[in-house]
């Protein structure tokens, strides 16, 4: 397993659309392992392949509450087959936009179909933090970031803050 660098905005790779994975191979399994290791190290509860510069429709998540057994998931070629009409507003962060937390409103529950590392197609309904994380990660795979749901002034302010942060980090 190896830690991968998480891209920080602004970075054109974070705006690209990821490509579907034709089949589960050892390299996809290794990618999932590396993404989980990178996510836990961040620490985070989700991570999309585009955030480490890999344009494949893969994300990982582990939304198990603190103190409970970890529940790591490697999700390949995710599709939302249903979203609830009811919405929920919650505070989101992003490992590619460090130290920024803003409220985003999304459908409260979703049904997702995906290809597992076992090569089988899975479909399950999710709520609470899992539903938020899934929608956040699937946005990443389409080059969309949670700041896109904010107003243009706030989005521009956050982007310039990240430019400064990247400049400081490159000095060390
Ligand atoms: O994709 C990412 O950048 C990881 C996200 C996933 C996420 C965002 C919003 C809400 C849920 C999940 C986070 O930065 S992971 C950091 C984190 C940790 C604990 C709770 C919420 C977010
Ligand atoms: Zn994110």
Of the ligands numbered here, which is closest to the C-alpha atom of 93?
1
Alpha-carbon torsion 122, 126, 131, 135, what sign?
A: positive
Q: What is the pLDDT of residue 84?
A: 98
Ligand 1 proximity of 136 Cβ (cutoff 6 Å): yes
Ligand 1 proximity of 138 Cβ (cutoff 6 Å): no
What DSSP assignment string belongs to 87-124?
EEEEEEEETTEEEEEEEEEEES-EEEEEE-TTS-EEEE
Report the distance separating Cα 113 and Cα 115, nearest Å: 7
Residue range 43-55, pLDDT digits in tens: 999 999 999 999 9
Query: How far, in Å, is the centroid of ligand 2 from the Cα of 143?
Result: 10
pLDDT band at 141 (very low <50, low <70, confident <90, very high): very high
Of the ligands numbered here, which is closest to the C-alpha atom of 59?
1
pLDDT band at 1 (very low <50, low <70, confident <90, very high): confident
Residue range 55-81, pLDDT digits in tens: 999 999 999 999 999 999 999 999 999
Ligand 1 proximity of 92 Cβ (cutoff 6 Å): yes
Q: With H, G, I as helix, E, B as strand and everything else as coil, classify residue 84.
A: coil
Count helices and strands in the chain by DSSP H and E runs: 3, 7
Q: Atom 1, ligand 1: which residue's CA is nearest?
A: 47
Q: Which residues are catalytic?
A: 137
pLDDT band at 172 (very low <50, low <70, confident <90, very high): confident
Residues in the chain: 172
What predicted TM-score, i.e. pTM, was given to this entire model? 0.96
Task: For 12-171, give the CATH class.
Answer: alpha beta
Asked if 59 and 141 touch (Cβ cutoff 8 Å), the reply is yes
């Amino acid at each position: 397993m190896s830690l991968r660098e998480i891209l920080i905005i602004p970075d054109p790779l974070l705006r690209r659309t990821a490509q579907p994975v034709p089949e589960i191979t050892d390299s996809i399994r290794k990618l999932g392992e590396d993404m989980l290791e990178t996510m836990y190290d961040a620490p985070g509860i989700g991570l999309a392949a585009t955030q480490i510069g890999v344009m494949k429709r893969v994300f990982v998540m582990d939304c198990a509450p603190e103190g409970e057994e970890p529940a790591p998931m490697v999700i390949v070629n995710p599709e939302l087959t249903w979203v609830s009409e009811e919405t929920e507003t919650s505070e989101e962060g992003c490992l590619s936009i460090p130290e920024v937390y803003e409220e985003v409103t999304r459908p409260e529950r979703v049904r997702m179909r995906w290809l597992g590392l076992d090569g089988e197609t899975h479909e399950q309904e999710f709520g609470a933090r899992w539903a938020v994380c899934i929608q956040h990660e699937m946005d990443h795979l389409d080059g969309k970031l949670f700041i896109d749901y904010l107003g243009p002034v706030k989005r521009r302010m956050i982007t310039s803050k990240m430019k400064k942060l990247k400049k400081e980090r490159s000095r060390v």
